[in-house]
Structure 1
Amino acid sequence: MRGAPTTRRPVDENTPAVATAADAGETWSRFWGRSQSLIPTLAAVVLFVSMLVYAEIAYGRVFHLGTMSSLLVSFAPTIILAVAMTIVILSGGIDLSVGAVVAFTSVSGVMLMGAGVNGWLAIVLMIAFGALFGLASGVLIQYFSVQPFIATLAMMFLARGLASMLSTVPVHAPEGAPIELLATDWKLIDGPKVNDLVLTPGFFIAVVVVVGAVFFLHRTRTGRTVYAIGGAESSAQLMGLPVARTRVSIYIISGALAGLAGVVYTAEVGGKAQNVTGIGWELDAIAAVVIGGTLLTGGVGYVLGSVVGSLVLAALWMIITKDGSIKPEYLTIITGGILLAFVLLQRVLTKRKSE
């Protein structure tokens, strides 16, 4: 007796293929959702490389060790400020005082050296003064519910005013002060003619700050709390995270790094300090952070992205300097245009992610 015919079940046989396609689609969706935050940073990298290529074609001697050395050394203070601003903005805050803090710490530190205070102690005090401004901002914001914009604006006026009270004319560090050592030229590559890679301790201080900030934000509990506060402060509080302590610490770190930027900058200019130093530097730092992909609303961003943003500003400055026919005033206009473009890009990506 012949058995009943066997029926084919195409649906069951194709189920693994369908499941595989669905899994692949879900994996791609998750990857796309995570990678969207990297798009502004990647765009900044492309912009930076494009600017360098254009400058090389138009003016020449850009991919030149001497040019790169000058660019990196001169923008070391900006990179330090960008790192400080990244940490603050990641928490959903802002710090408008960093430029003025650079001025105050620079003037006060140089005057202390001139008064006979040990040079290394004066450098430590410069960083401590910056941290005190940050502490004041953090306390106002956390315990007196003052908006970060207002609190740090008040500190900006205070620091700038104190710097002007100390001196309205340039002051100079004594000959042979330790701060001058931070501007010592270290020739790392001895190239043909003047094509040498020459960096300073100030630049390596900026590198250490970047590496330390990456470790702090991604490998410590406090760093993860910074992201949590920026993402959703109420959720961070419900999870029992130390929101108050972390927020105050954020502004202390920002102020201390501003003081450190003051040390590096003062060394670069030969130990000279003046009360007008750092005007607009807070805006440059904010621009570098936004161009590098950090959301102004907080919770999303990368320190390395802010470094790329700083390099974009450095490349723009180099192009204007090499061209010679472009007025320096256009630097601010072009920076504003680039900043607006990246803010709009962030808005589009954020809207797509929410949808």
Structure 2
Amino acid sequence: MSAESPVQSAGFRGIQTGPVLRRVNAWLPVIATVAILLLMLLAGQLYFGDFVTPRLVSSLFDNNPYLIVLAVGMTFVILTGGIDLSVGSVIAFSGLLGAQLFAAGLPAVVVLPLMVLSGTLIGAVIGIMVAVFDIQPFIASLAGMFLARGLAYVTSLKSLPIKNDGLNWLLGTSWGGGQWYTTPGVVLALLLVALAFWVLHYTRFGRTVYAIGGNEQSARLMGLPVGRTKFLIYVISGTGAGIAGVLFASYTQSGNPLAGLGMELQAIAAVVIGGTILSGGSGYVLGSLAGVLVYGLIQIAITYMSVDSWWTYIVIGVLLLVFVVFQRALSARRRG
């Protein structure tokens, strides 16, 4: 078996064309996602007449900072061909942990890092199972999901209100003027997107992530630190889930044992819609951001149409099928 070149491992493999065409081809799924987003905005404007407004764009980000952060961490995991089913449960556990600690009188400067650390530790447990004991990511993260959800129920069986200015400041404070606005939580989420983009595309760690997803055996033969990298990506995902737990607690101003139910599937859907291939090796964190915006825009459009919210899942399901078929066709083109 021949080892792939670094360019091939970084999501551009299988195309015998020039570097510019290779790069354009690699960005095609992201371009398709952005095109769908723009078409949805155009269709909404034509149908409703007053759809695309500064307030809509601002609320599109304001309603989804925790999902953006989850999608960032999930992108790292899926790029290696793995999956993390624990992130939604981590949101519940970290939120309840924060609620209990705030009720005990601890300040935000102590509680918020501990909320994030709870996600980091669960991610580390999953990473050890995957990297050290070679357990399938689905099984390892499923165990992490049950662990985090169980810890949430042990912490509290009911919703606990959170009244803390430090936590509520993240999404309760608006910056901007007129109809344009943003919040500190949204800024934090976008900064994490930018940091993830830099790590994935301008560091050795990022190149190793792509190489593992492209061909793990070749990555080992090239002497890349496969085990350490796989451990770290689950730590990153768990940390992201902890941060998302902080943002979600700020959004709801409470901790709830049922928080985050199904949110891991929403994050996976956003990443796939954003063009990251589930088998790994190809994808971009900017595409995941676009996938979250598509998901959020569908929810807003469903609300505008005054139909049942379950239609959101139907539309997302159709989009997922379309993107999976598109990815398969693109993969076949690359192999050809």
- TM bucket (normalised to shorter chain) is over 0.9
Give the secondary-structure state (helix, strand or coil) at the position aligned to 1:35: helix
Matched, 1:343 2:332: no
Q: Does 1:315 align with 2:329?
A: no
* 2:89 equivalent in structure 1: 100
Question: Equivalent residue of 1:276, what SS?
Answer: coil
Q: 2:208 aligns with which of 225, 228, 233?
A: 225
1:67-124 Cα distance to aligned partner (Å, 9 max, x none): 2221111111111111110010011110011111111111111111111222221100
Q: Deviations over 1:186-241 (max 9, x none)?
A: 33122xxxxx1121100001011001101111111111111111111111111111
Structure-2 separation of matches of 1:113 and 1:28 = 58
The answer to whether 1:147 aligns with 2:136 is yes
| Equivalent residue number for residue 332 of structure 1 | 313
What's the offset of the Cα at 1:149?
0.3
By how many angstroms is 1:180 displaced? 1.1
Give 1:185's aligned residue: 173
Contact 1:37 1:293 in 2 (8 A): no
Give TM-score, length-normalised by structure 1.
Answer: 0.87
Q: Is the 8 A contact 1:142 1:247 kept in 2?
A: yes
| Deviations 1:5-34, CA, capped at 9 Å, x for gaps | xxxxxxxxxxxxxxxxxxxxx995654444
Match of 2:221 among 235, 238, 241: 238
Structure-1 residue corresponding to 2:192: 209
Q: CA RMSD in A?
A: 1.5
What's the secondary structure of 1:299's corresponding residue? coil
**Which segments of 5 or more consecutive residues in structure 1 lack a partner in the other structure?**
1-25, 191-195
Q: Do residues 253 (structure 1) and 236 (structure 2) align?
A: yes
Residue type matched to 1:198 in 2? Answer: Y
Opposite residue 304 of structure 1, the aligned amino acid is L
Distance 1:45 1:264 in 2: 25
Give distance in 2, aligned partners of 1:290 and 1:88: 12
> Shift of residue 54 of structure 1?
1.3
Identity of aligned residues (%): 42
Runs of 4+ in 1 over 3 A off after TM superposition: 26-34
- Which structure 2 segments of 5+ residues have no match? 1-14
Cα 1:57/1:120, change in 2 over 3 Å: same
Aligned-partner residue type, residue 228 of structure 2:
R
TM (normalized to structure 2)? Answer: 0.92
Task: Give the conservation status (yes or no) of the 8 Å contact 1:86–1:294.
Answer: yes
Matched residue of 2:228: which SS?
A: helix
Shift in alpha-carbon separation, 1:27–1:252, aligned structure 2, 3 A: closer
Pairwise CA distance, 1:35? 2.5
Query: What amino acid is aligned across from residue 339 of structure 1 in structure 2?
Result: L
The size of the alignment, in residue pairs, is 322
Please say if residues 123 and 238 of structure 2, whose CA atoms lie closer than 8 Å, have aligned partners that are also in contact: yes
Maintained 8 Å contact 2:211/2:219: yes
- In structure 2, relative to structure 1, the CA distance for the partners of 1:185 and 1:128 (3 Å cut) is same
2:108 to 115, 119, 138: 119
User: Which has the larger Rg?
Assistant: 1
